[in-house]
Amino acid sequence: MNTNPVPEKFYGVSMRQQNVTPLDDVIEQVTNLGYAVLDGGYTADQLTAIRNAFDATRTRYIAKYGEDVLRSTNEYNNIRAVLTHGDEELFQLAFNENLMTVLKKLIHGKFILNQQNGIINPAQQSYNQGAWHRDIPYQHYVSSRPLAFNALFCVDDFTLQNGSTWVLPASHLKEPCPTPQYIERNAVQVEAKAGSFLLLDCMIYHTGGYNQTVKERRAVNHVFTIPFFKQQINIPNNMPDRELTTEQREILGFPYSEPPSIDAYIESRKGKV
């Protein structure tokens, strides 16, 4: 590793990025490189509660959907729509204060939670996130404003040994998937502490790494998109009965479900003109 100090002098510069807070640094990096690590601001006790909630939800999820079915559908290492299973800690994760502040600056206008999935990178096995992909799969375009971000919450430390996420910096800025040779030369494996979010522009190529340790690596991904994109699983239809603020309802997509009929659409227009 190069330990020489980075040169600090400039010339010929008349315009500079101005950052005020550490969150601005995150925004600058995710905008330019497509990835950054964001501190979730959790205490050790809160992190323990999140880990317990993750494990409890997973146990109930496997009991409900069946280990054989989940394995045969390549779904065993996921918990779909985590916040619909009733654990408060996992619900609140989606509304993390630092995350909301950053997303409001990154996404122009409203955004919704498109999906929230528990992800398990098992010890010494391949798993379904271990392949290069974009989080808006099959899409090859560059947009002038970001449309979607993945906030991958680190339930455990993400380390080089336990298969922390690989990213291809700035690949959200080009349409095609680069060559394997380019990926080999430029891919970066990101380390992050438990309790932080690995924030990804959804168009960056990334993959989970191989977990060489004897313990699984747990994470919760949150894909936030402009409301125009449909959710992976309809969250409003699956939310347990609970109080929600107006903002939470918006972020969970309640106002954005498509009207089931023309009558319902016309009804929804009343009072808007």
Candidate residues 103, 208, 211, 225; the one interacting with ligand AKG per rule CB under 6 A:
208
Least Å distance between CB 4 and ligand AKG?
A: 31
Site string for ligand AKG, 246-265 (x = CB under 6 A): --------------------
- Number of residues located near ligand AKG, criterion CB under 6 A: 11
Shortest Cβ 236–ligand AKG spacing (Å): 22
Contact with ligand AKG (CB under 6 A) among 205, 206, 218, 229: 206
CB of 222 to ligand AKG, least distance (A): 9
98 versus 117: smaller Cβ distance to ligand AKG:
117
Q: Is the dihedral of CA 199, 173, 233, 251 positive or negative?
A: positive
The least CB distance from residue 125 to ligand AKG, in Å, is 13
Task: State the nearest-atom distance from the C-beta of 213 to ligand AKG, in Å.
Answer: 14
Encoded tokens for 55? 């494990």
Shortest distance in whole angstroms from residue 64 CB to ligand AKG: 22
Rg (CA), the chain: 20
**Please, which contacts does 126-130 make with residues 24 or more away whose CB atoms are closer than 8 Å?**
126/210, 127/77, 127/208, 128/74, 128/75, 128/77, 128/78, 129/77, 129/207, 129/208, 130/163, 130/207, 130/208, 130/209, 130/210
Residue holding tokens 């010890």? 123
Indicate the SS3 state at residue 115. Answer: strand
Binding ligand AKG (rule: CB under 6 A), the pick from 30, 38, 47, 119 is 119
Q: Which of 27, 70, 115, 135 binds ligand AKG (CB under 6 A)?
A: 135
Residue 164 or residue 268: which is nearer to ligand AKG going by CB? 164
Q: Is there binding between residue 219 and ligand AKG (CB under 6 A)? A: yes
Tell which positions 140-159 bind ligand AKG, by CB under 6 A: 150, 152
Locus of tokens 């964001």: 38
Q: Taking Cα atoms as reference points, which of 253, 223, 228, 230 lies closest to residue 115?
A: 223
* Helix and strand element counts for the chain (H, E): 9, 9
- Assess contact for 38 and 93: CB atoms under 8 A: no
Give residues in contact with ligand AKG (CB under 6 A): 119, 121, 129, 135, 150, 152, 165, 206, 208, 219, 221
